Amino acid sequence: MSQGVRRAGAGQGAAAAVQLLVTLSFLRSVVEAQVTGVLDDCLCDIDSIDNFNTYKIFPKIKKLQERDYFRYYKVNLKRPCPFWAEDGHCSIKDCHVEPCPESKIPVGIKAGYSNKYLKMANSTKELEDCEQANKLGAINSTLSNQSKEAFIDWARYDDSRDHFCELDDERSPAAQYVDLLLNPERYTGYKGTSAWRVWNSIYEENCFKPRSVYRPLNPLAPSRGEDDGESFYTWLEGLCLEKRVFYKLISGLHASINLHLCANYLLEETWGKPSWGPNIKEFKRRFDPVETKGEGPRRLKNLYFLYLIELRALSKVAPYFERSIVDLYTGNAEEDADTKTLLLNIFQDTKSFPMHFDEKSMFAGDKKGAKSLKEEFRLHFKNISRIMDCVGCDKCRLWGKLQTQGLGTALKILFSEKEIQKLPENSPSKGFQLTRQEIVALLNAFGRLSTSIRDLQNFKVLLQHSR
C-alpha cells in the first residue's frame, strides 16, 4: 500500500471517528445543549429559571396544591363540543374522573359562592341572598321568561368582557367538584384522530396562522421536501410580538402537558395494580431533536416562556391577595390562615425574581390598533378554552380546562394592571375581580408548569444514566 493511500485511509478513519464523536455529543445534548441560553422575546436565561423553580417555587407550590382551598375544583365535564359532532367519550378506564362526594367538600367551599374568599362575603352572604331573591322577584313579576333569559345572558356577557376563557357555570347541575389530588394528570392512552383534531384546531384555526404556512410535523401537511419547518419559523419571526407570544404560549402549554404524560406513564399493570413513572422512550419520541427534526427543544423553550408569563402574572396580582379583606375561605379558620400565609410567601418569591417578562412591550402601538389586537388576542384564546369541551377523555378534558383557564386568568391579570393598582383595601373592587374558580385554576396551572420544569430536570438525569 502506498504512503498516499495509507494517509488517505488514516484521514478517512479520523474523519469517521470525529463524526462519531460529533454524533454522540449531539445525542448527549437531547436536552442539555439545546434547551439552554437566553429565551427569545425576553431577557431571561433557562438556567436561572431552573434554579429559581427548584429551590424557591416548586416545594411551596406543591404544598399549596395540597391545601383544601386549592385541591377542589368545580368543573362541568358534560358540556357538548361547540364545533363538531363528538366521537364519543374515551372508554379507557384511566380517562375516567371520579367526582368528589358532597360530604368530602369543605363546608365553606360547597356553599357555592363564587367569590368565597372575601371576609365581607362570608359574613353578609345571607343578607345578600335575601336581597337578591327580592330583586329576582321584582324582575319575575315584570319580565317574560324570554326577557329574563336575555337579561341574564346580558349580565353574564357584561361580566365576561375581560375574561380570556369561557368559564363553566358553577350553578349548572352538571358541574361537579373534583379532588385534583385523587385525579392526577397522567398518561391515559387517549390518542388518535379525536386527540389530534383538538390540537390541530387550536394551532391551525386560532394561532393567527394562514393555511398556506405549514406547521412542522403536521401529519396532514403536504410534503415540503427539505423544508423541515423552516418556512414556518421564518413566518413566525415575521409576526408582531403579540402574535409570536400567542403561539409560544400554546406551544408551551402543549409541551407541558406532554411532559406530564411522559413523567406519569403507565409502565406496567400487575394484578390490577398499575405502576406509573417516567418513560424515557416516550420523552425522546416527543422531544428528542433527532426524532422531532429539531422541534423538541423549541417546544421545551416555549414551556419556559409560558412559565415566565404565569410567573409575571402572580407577581402582578399579589396586591389583590395582600389585602386584609381577602380570606381563602373553607370554613377551617386555622387552615385558611396558614393557606393565605403560604400563598403570600409564594407571591413574595415571584416578586423577587430578577428577570421578569415585560408585558408592557405588548399592545404598545397606536391606541386604536393596540385595542383591536388585544381584543383579537383575547377572543382567539377564549375560543381555545371552548375547544377543551371537545376533548374526548374526561381526565384530559379536566386538566385541559383547568390549565387553559389558569393561563387565561394570568392573561387577564397582566392586562388589568391599572385596575389592580386601584384596588380598595377594605372593600370589593368593581374594576377587577377573581372568582374562586379562577384562583384555583391560576395556582394549579402554575403548579403544573413548575412540575413540568422539575420533571424536565429528572429526565436529564435519567438520560445521562441510560447512556
Mean pLDDT taken over the chain: 83
Q: Which residues pair with 45 in a beta bridge?
A: 38
| Closest listed residue to residue 453, CA positions, set 41, 19, 52 | 52
pLDDT score, position 116: 53
| Closest listed residue to residue 377, CA positions, set 289, 283, 248, 285 | 248
Specify the residue for cell string 357538548.
80
Band of pLDDT at residue 130, cut at 50, 70 and 90: very low
User: Contact, 77 vs 97, CB < 8 A?
Assistant: yes
67 in a labelled binding site: no
Q: Which helix (H) or strand (E) holds 430?
A: none
Average pLDDT over residues 316-338: 94
79 in a labelled binding site: no
271 in a labelled binding site: no
pLDDT score, position 191: 86
60 three-class SS: helix
- Whether 396 is catalytic is yes
More confidently predicted of 42 and 400: 400
Band of pLDDT at residue 139, cut at 50, 70 and 90: very low
**Phi-psi map region of 428: left, alpha, beta (phi>0 left; psi -120 to 50 alpha):** beta
pLDDT score, position 368: 86
Percent of the chain at pLDDT above 70? 79
Which of 42, 95, 207, 396 is catalytic? The answer is 396
Secondary-structure breakdown of the chain: helix, strand, coil percentages, each rounded to the nearest 5: 60, 5, 35
Helices of type H across 29-87:
46-52, 58-65, 68-71
pLDDT score, position 427: 76
Cell numbers for 425: 383595601
More confidently predicted of 316 and 464: 316
Give the tens place of pLDDT for each residue, 11-34. Answer: 555 554 444 344 434 444 555 556
pLDDT score, position 148: 42
pLDDT score, position 156: 45
Average pLDDT over residues 118-141: 43
The answer, yes or no, to whether residue 322 has pLDDT greater than 50, is: yes
Window from 93-97, 148-152, 206-210, 213-217 with minimum mean pLDDT: 148-152
Which of 42, 44, 262, 393 is catalytic? The answer is 393
286 in a labelled binding site: yes
Cell numbers for 95: 380517562
pLDDT score, position 185: 95
The answer, yes or no, to whether residue 234 has pLDDT greater than 70, is: yes
Domain ranges (residues) in the chain? 36-108+161-211+230-466
The answer, yes or no, to whether residue 453 has pLDDT greater than 90, is: yes
pLDDT score, position 40: 84
226 three-class SS: coil
293 three-class SS: coil
- Whether 393 is catalytic is yes
